[in-house]
Chain A
Amino acid sequence: SQTIHQWPATLVQPVGSPLSLECTVEGTSNPNLYWYRQAAGRGLQLLFYSVGIGQISSEVPQNLSASRPQDRQFILSSKKLLLSDSGFYLCAWSVAEIGFFGPGTRLTVL
């Protein structure tokens, strides 16, 4: 069966520091991969999605970037974090119609 991993589970970073969040999927090939951010008490904001290795589409221009170095690996990065980057970061994958979320990374920027 398919599983999705994210790490770290929680992260506290100072403003201006870099960020790297990783997501890997097991048990499927060529999934669509997504990064969402959820601010406290808010909805799901799509940040990036990828339909294949090296193919990244950005939904929201900001100081974040994404990369897909392998079929089942999706990385979210930032060179300099802002206070507004705090939130719950969710990686998701889909094959055909159905989508599933990873366990998430809770990021606090101080």
Chain B
Amino acid sequence: KAGVTQTPRYLIKTRGQQVTLSCSPISGHRSVSWYQQTPGQGLQFLFEYFSETQRNKGNFPGRFSGRQFSNSRSEMNVSTLELGDSALYLCASSPNPDRSNEQFFGPGTRLTVL
């Protein structure tokens, strides 16, 4: 079974631009979560989607948004990029939101904002 895939793997943008990252979960998984990883703040939860609905949201500004499609694929969007948005963005999938489920992580998208 294929793992979680994230595209693109690397991305370079300039301040003020917007960016869209994509995540394809493991087949059959309907829950997708997004995390931001930076050296200073570590791993921080962005949001979680299940059955095309956002279930939970972390403490990030409204410039960060996401959505989930009927095939469970998910996208996250960051508008008006800031230098501080440079990070590794990780996507994780699980069969459903039950907290006992293991979350399977993708390799991440490395975003650099210049």
Q: Decide whether A and B assemble into one complex.
A: no
**Which residue numbers of B lie inside 8 Å of A, CB to CB?**
none
A residues near B (Cβ < 8 Å) are none
